Amino acid sequence: MRDALAPDTLLSVRNLQTHFVSRSEVAKSVDGVTFDLKRGETVAVVGESGSGKSVTSLSIMGLLAHPGRIVGGEILYRNRQGTVRDLAQASAKEMKRLRGTEIAMIFQEPMTSLNPLFTVGDQIAEMITLHEKISYRAALDRAAEMLELVEIPAARRRVNDYPHHMSGGMRQRVMIALALANKPSLLIADEPTTALDVTIQAQILDLLRRLQSEMGMSILFITHNLGVVAEIAREVVVMYAGRVVEQAPVVDLFARPKHPYTEGLLACTPNAARDVDPNGVRLPLRPIPGSVPPITALPPGCTYAPRCTYAVPGCTGAVPPLFSVGASHLSRCFRHELL
């Protein structure tokens, strides 16, 4: 299987299963997730709370908290030497070496991801010296360069700032500087703009796009925001209750959603231009009924069936497979032809 990794593919997640097992129950947080990420491209994983999108990213990073465990599947990654490694089987030592050099991650909350007791320069310099033989002074210099790269004004001076001196947007820039300090091949961005205001979000998305084109890294972008997906991704993976329900190139997904959940998500996002009748009267939104089921008590068959307007009794039998519904377009719906 490992040889099957196409030359332009950096990461291939195959049938990933990550479970959280407690004495009384099993949470199948990630249940058979498969997707590829090509070099220099951006794939967005989109889903609501409990969809398993963050657990997927933590599984790739090897950062699962107890009792989370990868119980099946492969995470094939092509390292700098060109060797394909299965990160699901990699030792803690190997993962530690990869994190920070080749694979980096930025999180939603930049305040809790930075150490409040050290200056931002110290934190970036530490990151560099951990993975490279270089003097601390030289590392601090590089830290200042990194802050310049992420467009922090007066970067030479700001290296001496503590995180609390900075605004949320600035802190997220520092996180990006920290993540990119060792020029990773893969950046995993888990809701990096969710805690930020829209004007700051636009700055950060712009910055990520620019840095990607300059440094050529691949980005796995985790988000719940379809607007952000439309702006940044090339390929989209839609997750619901631990499974991929739809996967497609971004334009296809928005123009021709082939899973009722994706269609529902797009339809329930308010859109003043669409949601009015010809007389200018507001039409009610079309919400998805019910709520996301708890991951420990999933309904049988298609987990979306209880909320689905297309559902028929057959939907609650077997778990639907991913059907090919177009060029690089997959849908986990028995009734995808109706959409």
Partner 1 sequence: MSTLAHTSSEAPLLSVKNLETYFPLSHGTVRAVDGVSFEVRRGTIVGLVGESGSGKTTLGRSILRLVEPTGGEARFEDKDLLTLSPREMRAYRRRLQIIFQDPYSSLNPRMRVGAILAEALDTHGLAKGSARAPRIAELLTRVGLSPEHAKRFPHEFSGGQRQRIGIARALAVEPELIVADEPVSALDVSVQAQILNLMQELQKEFGLTMLFVAHDLSVVEYLCDEVVVMYLGRIMERGPSAQVYSRPRHPYTKALLATAPIPDPTVKRERIILKGDIPSPLDPPSGCVFRTRCPYAAPICAENRPPDEAVGLDHFVACVRKDELATSGEL
Kindly report the number of other CB atoms within 10 A of residue 79's CB atom.
17
Query: What own/partner pairs with CB < 8 Å and gap ≥ 24 does 155-160 have?
Result: 158/120, 158/121, 159/119, 159/120, 159/121, 159/124, 160/119, 160/121
Residue 14's DSSP bridge partners are 74
* Residue selected from 16, 179, 265, 305 as contacting partner 1 according to rule CB under 8 A: 265
Q: Which 120-179 positions form the footprint of partner 1 (CB under 8 A)? A: 153, 167-170
Q: Which is nearer to partner 1, 6 or 255 (CB)?
A: 255
Binding of partner 1 at residue 224 (CB under 8 A)? yes
HEC states along 180-209?
HCCCCCEEEEECCCCCCCHHHHHHHHHHHH
Task: Fill in the per-residue mask, 270 to 299: x = in contact with partner 1 (CB under 8 A), - = not in contact.
Answer: xxx--x------x-xxxxxx-xx-------
Q: Which stretch binds partner 1 (CB under 8 A): 8-16, 105-113, 176-184, 191-199?
A: 191-199
* Smallest separation, CB 316 to partner 1 (Å): 20
Q: Which is nearer to partner 1, 78 or 307 (CB)?
A: 307
* Smallest separation, CB 90 to partner 1 (Å): 33
- The answer to whether 16 and 62 are in contact (CB under 8 A) is no
* Residue selected from 149, 186, 241, 250 as contacting partner 1 according to rule CB under 8 A: 250
* Residue selected from 89, 213, 269, 309 as contacting partner 1 according to rule CB under 8 A: 269
Q: Cis check for the bond before 67: say yes or no (omega within 30 of 0).
A: yes
Whole-angstrom CA distances from 245 to 206, 278, 285, 307 are: 29, 34, 23, 14
Q: Hey, what are 115's tokens?
A: 């150490």
Q: Which residues bind partner 1 (CB under 8 A)?
A: 48-49, 153, 167-170, 197-203, 205-206, 224-231, 250-251, 254-255, 264-266, 268-272, 275, 282, 284-289, 291-292, 307
